[in-house]
Structure 1
Amino acid sequence: MHGPVSSGWLLVAICAATGAYCLLRMRSRVVEQRRAAGGEALMGFGMTVMAVPAAVFTPPGWVWTALAVVFGGAGLHALWAARTGAGHLHHLIGAGAMVYMAVAMAAPAGHGHGGSGTPLLTGTLLLYFVAYVLVAGVRLMPVAAVPGVAEGAGWGDRPELARACRLSMGIAMVAMLLAV
């Protein structure tokens, strides 16, 4: 990823921490939360790899192909899951954005890290993720206690933390798309 090294490392830290928390959420008692957390952990760790500053480390070209294949598979899984509800549509768009960024980073114009993408597609994805971040930010505003969530709920069963992770990944996606 192009840009200052310090902001790149901050993005790496945020994405890695989000991915790690999503792994913790996979221990939730709620099946749907576990499924969503798995996809979000994959997204967090994939974004971690992509966010490593190019000035520090440029991965071999096969890494971008591998990321494109992995997120292509995640996108197919989200497409299959979207048949049952719109909740997986965001995962489908996120996986598609990751495939797009991996392909753009593999482009020779970017010297293997931070290539150039299609402006129209980049702009469309930016609009989507900016809107997503704004909506996710509003959802974090304090509300009354969530019914069914016990006071002593474990880390994996805290909806406000899950929302905060989704917000941080959305912000990271905006930052990464700006660098494409």
Structure 2
Amino acid sequence: MHGPVSAAWSLVALCAATGAYCLLRMRSAVEEQRRSAGGEALMGFGMAAMAVPAAAFTPPGWAWPVYAAVFGLAALRALWAARRDRHHLHHLVGAGAMAYMAAAMAVAPPAAHSMEGMSMEGMHGGTGVPAVTGVLLLYFTGYVLLSGARLVPAAVAVGGPPPPARWGDRPELARACRLSMAIGMVAMLVTM
């Protein structure tokens, strides 16, 4: 990512905190929570690692192909899981976006081997937004808007069902995590 270093560290903190919460969700008594939490934790920590400013740490050249391979495998796993639950299609898009960004970093000139130093001209040899980046930006922006609207509290009926006993099983917290990662993804894609 290029831009203010404080914004990059804020993104690192947001993504790392989201990844940590998703690790806690893996202990849930609800099977679906456990199933999706692992992939979301990987996304959170991967996004945090990719957003670290180059002034603090510049990954070695071999790291970007490894990131691309890890997220490519995560995308295949999400594709397989999408047979059972279409929610995993979002995981597929997210892992694919991470693999795309890591692959772009792998082919970038050595001077640009951090998200902080990337520019559209240096990465793609021309001007303008590449089609894949544009489609991913549209998807994640739409996801942010829809997810944010779903988090707006609705009128609670008196005598409605009680909230889950464990805070890790609360679906609104899982949605808030997905929302924060989608916001982070928009920030990363905008700065590519």
TM class by shorter chain equals over 0.9
Measured on the aligned residues, the alpha-carbon RMSD in Å equals 1.9
| TM-score scaled by length of structure 2 | 0.87
1:171 matched to 2:172: no
Question: Partners in 2 of 1:149 and 1:41 — Cα distance?
Answer: 29
Q: Is the 8 A contact 1:2 1:54 kept in 2?
A: no
User: What SS does the aligned partner of 2:87 have?
Assistant: helix
Question: Partners in 2 of 1:16 and 1:54 — Cα distance?
Answer: 17
* Alignment deviations for residues 26-63 of structure 1 (CA, whole Å, 9 cap, x no partner): 11111111111111000000000001012221110111
Q: Is the 8 A contact 1:16 1:44 kept in 2?
A: yes
What is the aligned residue count?
179
Question: Partners in 2 of 1:29 and 1:148 — Cα distance?
Answer: 22
1:124 matched to 2:135: yes
User: Where do residues 67-106 of structure 1 align in structure 2 (5 Å cutoff)?
Assistant: 67-106=67-106
Q: Which residue of 2 aligns with 1:112?
A: 113
Question: Partners in 2 of 1:149 and 1:16 — Cα distance?
Answer: 32
Q: Is the 8 A contact 2:164 2:170 kept in 1?
A: no
Q: Which residue of 2 aligns with 1:4?
A: 4
1:133 maps to amino acid: V
Q: Which residue of 1 aligns with 2:44?
A: 44
* Alignment deviations for residues 48-98 of structure 1 (CA, whole Å, 9 cap, x no partner): 000101222111011111111111111000111112232111000000000
User: What SS does the aligned partner of 2:62 have?
Assistant: helix
Q: Which residue of 2 aligns with 1:134?
A: 145
| Structure 2: 5+ residue stretches without partners | none
Farther-moved stretch of structure 1 (59-68 vs 127-136): 59-68
Question: Partners in 1 of 2:175 and 2:161 — Cα distance?
Answer: 15
Q: Is the 8 A contact 2:68 2:102 kept in 1?
A: yes
Offset of 1:150 from its aligned partner?
Answer: 4.3
Question: Partners in 1 of 2:72 and 2:161 — Cα distance?
Answer: 34
| Structure 1: 5+ residue stretches without partners | none
| TM-score scaled by length of structure 1 | 0.92
Q: Is the 8 A contact 2:15 2:184 kept in 1?
A: yes
Question: Partners in 1 of 2:34 and 2:97 — Cα distance?
Answer: 22
User: What SS does the aligned partner of 1:66 have?
Assistant: helix
* Alignment deviations for residues 128-155 of structure 1 (CA, whole Å, 9 cap, x no partner): 000000001011011337x997446212
